[in-house]
Structure 1
Amino acid sequence: MRIKRVKIGIKTVKEVLDEFIKTGEAIERGEGVKKEKGIYFESVEGFRKALTPKRLELLHLIKEKHPESLQELARLAKRDMKSIVTDIKILESLDLIDMKRRKEGRRESVPTVAYDKINLEIAV
């Protein structure tokens, strides 16, 4: 089985814009451009705010236990529903989880994680 990874890094807005310009120039010259997918934050503080230990725990629980609902995830995490919903919305906005609709007739969604590993990249 192939291991799926997501890259998370710290980059300033200037670094992102510089890479964007270099990519555009390479395309104009007809050069091939390697597609790079990742999630980047402007600072370590931004990373820490977004990926708290409790949110990382939720990712692990979703990946390992495959909860069938947010209620089941809240029970597994021993946390209240309000905080689970808040954290799930943040993780979903970062594309770290997907919410898949359960079978027709059900209103609940099932949280899923498509990645096996998170690689953190920080330039020194």
Structure 2
Amino acid sequence: MKTVLIDVCSLSAVKQRVAETFKTGKRQPPRISFPTHELFWKILTPKRMDLLKAMAGAGPLGVREIARLVERDVKGVHTDLTALCKTGIVERVDDAKYQFPYDALHIDFTVIGSKAA
């Protein structure tokens, strides 16, 4: 099963992870990182998460087919797919098809209260 890890971490943490990968030469699992929780929630809205769940492991799908799977209008689904493509989460396969190239997604982040920070 091909799983992508989605997390929230700083740019310095991403740079450190990349440097460690080059140093060890070990291949790392697919990962998508957001710099802030706010950006995470702005991009991965509940409706967009529904799209990812419907597309996971399904291969290339057309907009109308995806809209049917999530029971939404085509225009709204197209708008959300465009946003997900701009962030690199979803791939545009050709003029008519989109793909989420993973079978599953794992979301991992910690929220720290303002008093603890």
Same fold (TM over 0.5): yes
**Mapping for residues 42-81 of structure 1, pairs under 5 Å:** 42-63=35-56, 68-81=61-74
The residue that corresponds to 2:2 in the other structure is 4
The residue that corresponds to 1:110 in the other structure is 97
Kept after mapping to 2: 8 A contact 1:23/1:33: no
TM superposition shift of 1:34 = 2.7
TM superposition shift of 1:74 = 2.2
Q: Deviations over 1:54-73 (max 9, x none)?
A: 01111222237768421232
**Larger Rg: 1 or 2?**
1
Measure the CA separation in 2 of the matches of 1:32 and 1:78: 46
Q: CA 1:33 to 1:60, structure 2 compared with 1: closer, same or farther past 3 Å?
A: same
The residue that corresponds to 1:119 in the other structure is 106
TM-score normalised according to structure 1 size: 0.67
Aligned residues: 110
Matching residue's letter, 2:19: T
**Mapping for residues 10-21 of structure 1, pairs under 5 Å:** 10-17=8-15, 19=16
Kept after mapping to 1: 8 A contact 2:55/2:99: yes
RMSD after superposition: 3.0
Identity between Structure 1 and Structure 2 (%): 27
The residue that corresponds to 1:34 in the other structure is 26
- The DSSP-based 3-state class of the residue aligned with 1:95 is coil
Structure 1 unaligned blocks of 5 or more: 102-107
Give the stretch that moved more between structures: 74-83 or 85-94: 74-83
Matching residue's letter, 2:97: V
